[in-house]
Amino acid sequence: MAVPTKNIPAPDLVPVRRALLSAFDKTGLVDFAKALAASGVELVSTGGTAKTIAEAGLAVRDVSELTGFPEIMDGRVKTLHPSVHGALLGIRDDAEHAKAMRDHHIEPIDLVVSNLYPFEEVRRSGAGYASIVENIDIGGPAMIRASAKNHAYVAIVTDPADYASVVNALEMNLGSLSLEFRKMLAAKAFARTATYDAAISGWFAEELQIEHPTWRAFGGRLDQVMRYGENPHQNAGFYLSGDKRPGVATAMQLQGKQLSYNNINDTDAAFELVGEFDPARSAAIAIIKHANPCGVAEGSSLKAAYAKALACDPVSAFGGIVAMNRILDAEAAEEIVKTFTEVIIAPDATDEAAAIVAAKKNLRLLVTGGLPDPRAAGTTVKSVAGGLLVQSRDNAVVDDLELKVVTKRAPTPAELADLKFAFRVAKHVKSNAIVYVKNGATVGIGAGQMSRVDSSRIAARKALDAAEAAGLAEPLTKGSVVASDAFFPFADGLLSAIEAGATAVIQPGGSMRDDDVIAAADEHGIAMVFTGVRHFRH
């Protein structure tokens, strides 16, 4: 049954006469406190916050003067008191509430400044269990939620970035804050505590290895509002989860215009793909268009790898995303800027390379400080009507898999190296995925088709187009190897790859017709290995 309401209308303007300040993050706090004091606001505070305000020469009452009770238990208990929460939750225009406040000597609080213990930061720092638990704030969220609920009379400020707007609003309204402004602050406050609790519940689930908790929450902080989403009629924003995995969300943008929704989506796909390639082994480049690779290659240098990757599909590479697994150097930068490119993302860039890219004012250059670990555990989330699909990240790596040769002929060492390369790439191609590879470079990619045989044919067609563009006598799929992200349900997909010139195949296996597919490979002298792992990507 719903709690009955008294239907007391909220006042528009509420004077701010008393403020309670209790903030872990003290950025801008002293200047804000000075502005409040200059407006005649009485300052009440707790512990370290009170000390900071007093050291700035401002008069401040300790919260214990309001409660008549000292802080105890190392500060765990200080604001959890009727004198504080009564001051926050009391409906000033309700006769019963007003009488209770008078009877119990509860002084109203009109504005609260509270931000929380840095649980998220402590969790990411690798601190121990006890330290993480100690940084779960209790009094802060309680005050924030109480103030936000009673926004009819109380303003709650949870973000130092809002101090200036609060001061400005107080000046405009002669020491008062409007109902609309208080509502906006309350909405932000509830979102903050929701995100905070999501981080805590998520950590507990991980700590206890609960794969599917009964209640699941996700939170993030707005990083930027975008011009539009996937299409111009859609609005969009980019939120940061706080995960420090190297990538587009944690990267530093050295130059170029603001990233779009599609830029971010494609850049994430590009960098996750290139993270599959160990920079200690060789340089690697991935060129992405619409979240699918149109060229991936390894080489002795980034320049060499880029040339091989570009040759796979130079038409699709126009306006694409370029990701690499090593520091961008001038030699590679000079080649990349010759083709119109939306974004370059790399672990870092030399000054010379950055200067070359800077000549293209709209080209974005992102540096991440590292590569994403393809083996790291994680979670992916996809929205559907009425719910969320949540799964663990696909962190299977072909180098860790036990490959099983199922044909009469085993792959040669060169073929095996290319097969592993192809399967790394297939993991990042939309299903159904077919990837042809030769000499450490993709030479044909078929993505996102309803039929696997169609993906195989499209990849072969792409290879023919690339050969014509390069003036080659035959496509590079001749003598290549091919990877399939899932099993061949029939032999026709394999036969299409053989027709394109593939000499070896890597696929998960597991079809009811595996024997037919293996027989077709043997009939044509093709080597085939099974991985036992599928890489569907929708």
Contact 369, 347 (CB under 8 A): yes
Contact 530, 509 (CB under 8 A): yes
Q: Which residues pair with 367 in a beta bridge?
A: 252, 346
Largest CA distance in the chain: 96
Q: How far is CA 302 from the centre of its chain?
A: 27
Q: Which residues pair with 321 in a beta bridge?
A: 288, 343
Give the chain's radius of gyration (CA, Å): 30
Q: Which residues pair with 21 in a beta bridge?
A: 45, 113
Active-site amino acid positions: 149, 290
**283, 291, 375 from 531: Cα distances, Å:** 25, 24, 16
Amino acid, res. 490: F
Beta strands in 166-243 (DSSP E): 176-177, 221-225, 237-240
DSSP code at position 10: P
Continuous segment of H or E residues that includes residue 114? strand 111-115
Q: How far apart are CA 420 and CA 213, in angstroms?
A: 36
DSSP code at position 401: S
Structure tokens at 162: 């809002």
